[in-house]
Structure 1
Amino acid sequence: MSKMRFLTGYPPELVERVERLLDNGELAPWLAKRYPERNDIQTDKALYDYVIEIKQRYLKNAPQPARVQYDNQLDLIGGTLGTNTFASRVQGSKLKRKNEIRIATLFRETPPEFLNMIVVHELAHLKEKDHNKSFYQMCCHMQPDYHQLEFDLRVWLTLREYS
């Protein structure tokens, strides 16, 4: 398995730069300087309130998530940092649709910008199921520096894995 598995698909010169910073012990200080704060949203209730606030600001017509919670079962090895599940159930003569957003527990440790990025990602799935152009446009509408934050999160995950 590659040392830079979270950075596959990025230009080789960028990956080599991150690897050099990691090998020279400069990656942790760089990230700490760039993202000095720690996320203070630690409970499922606080996470739910945070997600609903962002949803109301940007996606008023999207369905309301029935549950939002941290999930320590999400598999970082498989690359899953958050999930958005939809379930349809028959209740009497009506079809009820309910969705849940689960965020990997490791986001309790991340800077708030990374939590915001994953929340924006999962909220965008309320409107767009696939990772297509309109999905990423929606992410960038809610979080203008979405792509930079996604890259920096991948760098943070790399550092976390090799520290």
Structure 2
Amino acid sequence: MSEPLKYLSHYPQHVQAQVRTLIERGGLKTYLLDKYPTPHSIGNDKALREHVMQFKNRYLKKSAPLSKVIFDNRIHVVNHALGLHSYVSRVQGNRLKSKHEIRISSVFKATPQAFLDMISVHELAHLKEKEHNKAFYQLCQYMLPSYHQLEFDLRLFLLQTELEGALYEPTGETAGDGCVV
């Protein structure tokens, strides 16, 4: 039995074997580029906030408001995260106020739109479900029906990036560090 592939270690061995074969034949990059030929055009925090808020306003209208949505180049593999949802509770007078923030790794500045959608939905789902449980993934699928396939393809994208470098030509902005969901 061979070593599990980074980013795919919790997938069954037969799936990992298929990915290994694809890599050995030099087909991983082709698979990804055929399926996701171009990166998205969201390049700053304001545009990212608008993008995330579209999902929130459509699927989670009654959830807590977001105080911040940003690309963050400090999120990387050490955190084992591609995005972070955090909430801070503060006492203001005699009331408790909480602020919700979504920070998305700057690696998503150079990914396909579908991957940015996937991580946005993932972090938004944490507004309602804190744990990665069945209800959490059902909410992700409700907001983005192809969620599980996109998560798998994102893992392939990260593997490809680690093996051969960036999938897309740089556009002058840095893509950030590689991360895992």
Superposed CA deviations along residues 42-80 of structure 1, whole A, max 9, x for unmatched, are 100000011111100000000111000000000224421
Unaligned runs of 5+ in 2: 165-181
CA displacement 1:18-59 (0-9 Å, x = unmatched): 112112211101100011121111100000011111100000
The residue identity in structure 2 corresponding to 1:151 is: F
What are the superposed Cα offsets for residues 78-113 of structure 1, whole Å, 9 maximum, x if unpaired?
421000001000111211110110000000011000
| TM-score, length of structure 2 as denominator length | 0.87
Q: Is 1:63 aligned with 2:64? A: yes
Moved over 3 A (4+): none
Q: How many residues align?
A: 162
1:5-154 to 2 correspondences below 5 Å: 5-154=6-155
Cα distance between partner residues in 1 of 2:42 and 2:5: 29
* Backbone CA RMSD of aligned residues: 1.1
Q: Which amino acid aligns with 2:138?
A: Q
Shift of 1:3: 6.6
Please state whether the residue corresponding to 2:131 is helix, strand or coil.
coil
Amino acid at match of 2:41: D
Contact kept, 8 Å, 2:4 with 2:16, in 1: the verdict is no
Counterpart code for 1:117: M
CA separation of 1:80 and 1:118: change in aligned 2, threshold 3 A: same
TM-score, normalised by the number of residues in structure 1: 0.96
Greater mean deviation of Cα atoms: 139-148 or 16-25: 16-25
* Structure 1: unaligned runs, 5 residues or longer: none
